[in-house]
Amino acid sequence: MKHLVAPSLLSADLNHLGRDVEMINNSLADWFHLDIMDGVFVPNISFGFPLVEAVKKLSKKPLDVHLMIVEPDRYISWFRESGADILSVQIEACKHLHRTVHAIRDEGMKAGVVLNPHTPVGSLEDIITDVDLVLLMSVNPGFGGQRFIENTYEKIRQLKALILKKQSTALIEIDGGVGFENAAKLVEAGADVLVAGNAVFSAPDPLQAIRWLKTLN
């Protein structure tokens, strides 16, 4: 499968959100990536239901929603109603991960699990066949523009080995510090989905940046 690109709206210009969403609609990007932060699980606050709903009305591509919040189970149905197509939860925030994953799927969404940089891949051993996506954070979550953690390559290889061992169909998504200097290496290591924020929205030509990340030319 050709790798996917999901521009992160955390780096978009919220004063011109409609313009940026339309730009992504007209690009080679595959998904919109939205980070939901509550100021508790991570030291930052970002989007809520109104913004997800607004993006859904304009979007021509799936919404990939990452919950960086405590008690994510309370909001699963709300995010489905707001327009999420893929909903990913932090493994560190879930007391009953299997129940949470299946609650997401029961709502008709694809289910993802997210690992922070310090969380080992082995923690997915018993859930990997139940998820559609594993998101590996390659920075500590909470803020955009952080430096990429180099151990991510090894973590991707470990995760790919686990997926093959368990015959899972889960995609591997990478978020944090993804850019032109490491995108090809991430795909080579086994990444299926690249989340890019600053690399896209800070580029002189965002459409060209997305095209480069998609084709890696």
In the prediction, which pLDDT does 144 show? 58
Task: Tell whether pTM > 0.85.
Answer: yes
Give the position of tokens 């998504």: 173
| CA–CA dist 6, 89 (Å, integer) | 17
Give the position of tokens 């980070």: 35
DSSP state string for 5-65: EEEBGGGS-GGGHHHHHHHHHTSS---EEEEEEBSSSSS-B---HHHHHHHHHH-SS-EEE
Structural domains of the chain, ranges and CATH numbers in brackets: 4-215 (3.20.20.70)
In the prediction, which pLDDT does 41 show? 80
Give the position of tokens 């890019």: 196
User: What tens-digit pLDDT sequence spans the chain (217 residues)?
Assistant: 699 999 999 999 989 999 999 999 999 999 999 999 888 887 777 778 889 999 999 999 999 999 999 899 999 999 999 999 999 999 999 999 999 999 999 999 999 999 999 999 999 999 999 999 999 999 987 665 568 999 999 999 999 999 999 999 999 999 999 999 999 999 999 999 999 999 999 999 999 999 999 998 5
In the prediction, which pLDDT does 43 show? 73
Q: Which active-site residues does the annotation give? A: 35, 175
In the prediction, which pLDDT does 145 show? 59
